[in-house]
Chain A
Amino acid sequence: KQEVTQIPAALSVPEGENLVLNCSFTDSAIYNLQWFRQDPGKGLTSLLLIQSSQREQTSGRLNASLDKSSGRSTLYIAASQPGDSATYLCAVKAAGNKLTFGGGTRVLVKP
C-alpha cells in the first residue's frame, strides 16, 4: 500500500527566504507526482505535475524535483512572499489513476 509522507508538518520562514518542502513515498511504481496548494477553507490548486520519467518541473518561482528510485520529491519556492503562506500537499498517482496524498506542510511566511 502506497504511503506518502511530508516533512516537516509546519514551517515558518521570514519573507525572502527560500522554501524547501519534502515529500516521500514508499512505492516507486508511480505514474506521476503532483504538488497542490490549499488555502484555509479552500480547495486544492494544482501547482506542478511531474511525470515519472521527468526529474524536475519548473513554474515561475516554483521548482519541483523527483527522484523516483529513492521515493522522494522536493518542492522549492524561491524568494518566499507572505502570499505563499498556505498548506502544500503532494500526491502520487499509481495504478488505477488513484492519487495518494501526504499529510501536507503548513507554511507561514512572515513579513
Chain B
Amino acid sequence: DAGVIQSPRHEVTEMGQEVTLRCKPISGHDYLFWYRQTMMRGLELLIYFNNNVPIDDSGMPEDRFSAKMPNASFSTLKIQPSEPRDSAVYFCASSSADDRAEAFFGQGTRLTVV
C-alpha cells in the first residue's frame, strides 16, 4: 500500500475562497482522522470517521469547516470561506479498528490563505 495519500501538498488561496483538501486512507482501515498543525496550538484533532460515519467533530473550529467521507477510500475537508487564520498544515491519518493499531499519517497539506 502507498500509505495515506493527501492532495494537494501545498495550497495557496485568497481569503474568502473555498478550499478542498483530499485524503485517501490506507485500504482496509476503518478509521480516518483529520488533524491541523500550527505553531501556536500544535496538532489538533478536527474530526474523525469510523466506517465513513463522522464520530466526533468537536474539534472543527467553525461552521466554515466541513468534512465528508463518501466512501471508504476518500475523504475531503472543506473550508468555505477561507481566512488567513486557517493557514496551517492539515494532516490526514488512518488506522484499523483494532484498539492496539498504529496510526499512519499522510504527508500533509500546507495551506496558506493570503
A residues with CB within 8 A of B: 31-32, 34, 36, 41-44, 46, 49, 51, 89, 91, 93, 96-104
B56 CB within 8 Å of chain A? yes
What secondary structure prevails in chain B residues at the interface with A?
Answer: strand
Smallest Cβ distance from A47 to chain B, in angstroms? 11
CA distance A100 to B45 in the complex (A): 8
Asked if A46 and B48 sit within 8 Å, CB to CB, the answer is no
Across-interface contacts of B85 in A (CB, < 8 A): none
Asked if A43 and B91 sit within 8 Å, CB to CB, the answer is yes
Q: Tell me the count of chain B residues lying within 8 A, CB to CB, of chain A.
A: 25
B69 CB within 8 Å of chain A? no
Q: Which of B12-20, B60-68, B70-78, B96-104 contacts A (4 or more CB under 8 A)?
A: B96-104
Indicate which residue in B35, B99, B106 contacts A31 across the interface (CB closer than 8 Å). B99
